[in-house]
Amino acid sequence: MTPDLSEYIRSRVAILDRVRGILRDTMKLKIEPEAIDPDAPLFGTGLGMDSVDAVELVMQLDTVFGLQLAGSPEDFLKIRTVNAIVDAVLETHDES
Amino acid sequence: MSRKDEYGALRYNVALSRMDHVGVLRLAGDEAIEAADAICSGDLWVRDGRMLQTLILDDRGKPVADVYVCPDNDVCFLMVEGITTEDLSACLAQHVSPDLDVQLEDLRPGHELLSVHGPYAWELMSRWLTPDIIGLPYLSFYRFDRGICFRAGKTGEFGYDLMLRKEHVADARQELLELVSAFGGAEVSLDTLDLCALENGFFSVRHGSVEGLTPIELQLQWRVSTRKRFPGVAAIEDRRVKGIRRRSTHFVARDGVKTGDLIRSSEAPVGEVMSAAFSPAVDGIVGTALLDISVAHPGIDEFVVHDGASTFPIRTVSSPLLLNRSLLVDPRRHSYATREDAVHPPLWPGALP
């Protein structure tokens, strides 16, 4: 594995773990962090979160990562799964 | 009609499809839901009139059926893909206590399933059935005089599965085809439904072999209970204790990648392609790969597939890939007639490697 890839994965896993922690501790998902699959749908089917949860999740992501989402459909794309959230956080950090 | 035309109908307008690949079993009796609970891997916390997606596993924890559980008072419908209703009945006979008050009925002999998908499927259904259908929540169902309408679908678009009694099928199909035509749509094949499911990250029993895999590798742990016993639970528990070595991850490629191909880094093999198909939205290949757990993450550009003298780069991506039109079309503000007035971003906002 190249050093760049190794560093990228390390960053990704660190954010992934923090997002899983938010889902378990703040969003009160009754599930162990390692059982939250990175590509599992968070809303509707999947982990079963709803629109109220979405508002809380957006607030948490702003507080923890500085990820600011305006609530547009395009923004919803960024919180459909844990991996999508990690992508958005990495993109925000790259921009800043 | 070409695959591309079918795809365009489903992704931009409406599509009608036969659902001959789905079996439906009706469980009746006071303990119908308990019988379903005995064979399904998920926690069946689902209210009457709602649907829950789960799996049936074999003894090694391999998913053999993709299941919707749909309870309705003292009846529970099971909609299954992957096994026949005969196999499902045998599974129930093997795992459900004979003391339970439950009677099985295979509904396929007396019914057929059709489905309607697309960003304007809600509008078509509101004309065909009732305007109230627009308010039917995702994963719930509605009885009407000719059968049952299930608000479901595995394409990322608005979707309705219609279980119709045989005597109504011909008329209903003709009426729906006329409406589909008026909405610029088309009748689509199972291949097109499967492609759309692949793009949107839905599990399908037809997306390549899952031999030796469990819901943990397949990122389907949300469909597996940690609180109850079910067929395959011992294998799941064993896999959880030992950890997984590989995980399913989505990818895109420009071309040249097919199911079964070996995926390599510059140093060594890192996985293999589970399923791959050409996506008109991406204008390239979309697929799932089974990657070594150390590199099973999106956003990686360093892997390739070799095919003789050629090398094809792949990029791992997050699922679902698409920004579906159905996320942007709002039944309160939009309609098929005014579709040209709305400006939408592209279905796929990404880039090929």
Q: How many CA atoms lie within 13 A of B229 on its CB side?
A: 3
| Cβ contacts of A9 on chain B, cutoff 8 Å | 294-295, 297, 300
Helix (H), strand (E) at residue B176: helix B166-182
Q: What is the mean pLDDT of residues B138-156?
A: 96
For chain B, the average pLDDT equals 95
- Average the pLDDT over B70-90 and give the result: 94
Paired sense of beta strands B52-57 and B111-117, if any: unpaired
Please say if the pLDDT value at position A29 is more than 90: no
Which CATH class for the B3-196 domain? alpha beta
Query: What pLDDT does A77 receive?
Result: 83
Contacts of B308 (CB under 8 A, 6+ apart): none
Percentage of chain A exceeding pLDDT 90: 56
What integer pLDDT is reported at residue A3 of this predicted model? 87
Local confidence band at B131 (pLDDT 50, 70, 90 cut-offs)? very high
Contact B121, B157 (CB under 8 A): yes
In sequence order, which residues have a C-beta less than 8 Å from that of residue A7 and are 6 or more positions away? Answer: none
Residue ranges of domains in chain B: 3-196, 197-317
On whether any CB of chain B is under 8 Å from the CB of A71, the answer is no
Distance from CA of B52 to the nearest CA of A (A): 8
Average of per-residue pLDDT values in chain A: 90
Residue B107 has pLDDT above 90, yes or no: yes
Q: Which CATH superfamily is domain B197-317 in?
A: Aminomethyltransferase beta-barrel domains (2.40.30.110)
Q: Which of B224, B207, B349 has its CA nearest to residue B274? A: B207
Those residues whose C-beta lies under 8 Å from the C-beta of residue B137, and which sit 6 or more positions away, are B50, B151
A 26-65 near B (Cβ less than 8 A): 31-32, 35-41, 44-47
**pLDDT tens digits for B7-57?**
999 999 999 999 999 999 999 999 999 999 999 999 998 999 999 999 999
Can you state the angle between helices A51-65 and A82-95, rounded to 10 degrees? 30
Cα(A61)–Cα(B254) distance, integer angstroms: 33
Choose among B138, B249, B299: nearest Cβ to A44.
B138
How many Å apart are CA B66 and CA B35, to the nearest integer?
Answer: 17
> What is the percent of chain B where pLDDT is above 70?
100
Helix (H) or strand (E) holding B121: helix B121-128
- Chain A interface disruption, residue of B222, B252, B292, most A CBs within 10 A: B222
The sign of the CA dihedral B276, B312, A90, A70 is: negative
Percent of chain B with pLDDT over 90: 92
Flag whether residue B298 sits within 8 Å of chain A, measured between CB atoms. yes
A59-74: per-residue pLDDT in tens? 999 999 999 988 777 7
Q: What's the whole-number mean pLDDT along residues A30-48? A: 90
Q: Taking CB atoms and an 8 Å limit, are B221 and A73 in contact across chains? A: no
Whole-angstrom distance, CA of residue B33 vs CA of residue B54: 13
For chain A, report the end-to-end CA distance as a whole number of angstroms: 27
In this model, does residue B133 exceed pLDDT 90?
Answer: yes
A91 in contact with B, Cβ within 8 Å: no
The complex's ipTM works out to 0.94
Task: Estimate to the nearest angstrom the gap between the alpha carbon of B139 and the chain centroid.
Answer: 12
Q: Of the candidates B248, B302, B319, which has its C-beta nearest A2's C-beta?
A: B302
Name the strand (E) or helix (H) holding B314.
Answer: strand B310-317
pLDDT at A26 over 80: yes
Evaluate if residue B165 carries a pLDDT over 80.
yes
Minimum-distance CB partner of A73 among B138, B220, B327 = B327
Preceding omega of B280 cis (within 30 degrees of 0): no
In whole angstroms, give the CA distance from residue B186 to residue B1. Answer: 8
- pLDDT of B331 reads 92
Nearest CA in chain B to A6: B295
Of B188 and A27, which is predicted with more confidence?
A: B188
Contacting residues of A for B295, CB less than 8 Å apart:
1, 5, 9
* Cut 0.90: pTM above it: yes
Flag whether pLDDT at A50 surpasses 90.
no
CATH code reported for the domain at A3-95: 1.10.1200.10
pLDDT at residue B237 is higher than 70: yes
How confident is residue A96, by pLDDT bands cut at 50, 70 and 90? low
Q: Does residue A77 sit in helix, strand or coil? A: helix
Residue B29's nearest CA partner among B119, B133, B102 is: B102
